[in-house]
Amino acid sequence: MPRYVIDPPPIVALPVAGTDSLFPVRRVYCIGRNYAAHAVEMGHDPDREPPFFFQKNPDNLDPSGEFPYPPQTADVHHEIEMLIALGSGGTNISPDDALSHVFGYAVCFDMTRRDLQGQAKKMGRPWEIGKAFERSAPTGPLHPANVTGYPHHGRVQLLVNGELRQEGDLNQMIWKVPEMISYLSNYFALAAGDVILSGTPAGVGPVVNGDRMEASIEGIGELTVTVA
């Protein structure tokens, strides 16, 4: 039996609410501009163009409840999102079949170094430097879909230091969960352990050290994260 030449990296895993079980994460896909009002605030057309995706790294997910202010930026933004965790995968999944692959849902953040993302956009470069940095996706516990059901609608809300910053409803997503899964599966082989971030409603903005972000998605759960 060959041995690893270095210690294998730890498996990234999310706690499953109400259990002592863990959900191991394989890949992280994130959809861009999935709420019309957010597309408009970022200077884009809210029309239903084909969706686009970028990726974060599995170990960017962080259930600790703390978000360390990252280096090389002066403009880190909050984006509250719903995380969709797949319990199985495949290719060319039809929208009608897609929900059968969902293990559960969680509240999470797509924290963004907006200044670096902005430079990358302007220069036609990839977004990772703005999106896929250490601990850039604070994530709450996973709530199994057999408990929550499929959230057709539900208020999405983010308070920062008690002040309402972002609000929307899951029913405002331009591309719904079954469509996102189906679309991605036409381009990638999805598998158990993959997670998808849903996109964010309007109201994104900066955080500073000491801020307390209280996120909630009706029917899914809550997540409080401190900027440290």
- Which residues of this chain interact with Mn ion, rule CB under 5 A? 79, 110, 200
Q: Rounded to the nearest whole angstrom, what is the least distance from the CB of residue 119 to Mn ion in the complex?
A: 17
Q: Rounded to the nearest whole angstrom, what is the least distance from the CB of residue 81 to Mn ion in the complex?
A: 6
Q: CB-wise, 37 or 192, nearer to Mn ion?
A: 37
Q: CB-wise, 62 or 110, nearer to Mn ion?
A: 110
Cβ distance 178 to 68 under 8 Å? no
Q: Rounded to the nearest whole angstrom, what is the least distance from the CB of residue 96 to Mn ion in the complex?
A: 27
Q: CB-wise, 79 or 194, nearer to Mn ion?
A: 79
Q: CB-wise, 33 or 101, nearer to Mn ion?
A: 33
Q: Which position's Cβ is nearest Mn ion? A: 110
CB-side neighbour CA atoms (13 Å) of 43: 3
Q: Rounded to the nearest whole angstrom, what is the least distance from the CB of residue 21 to Mn ion in the complex?
A: 27
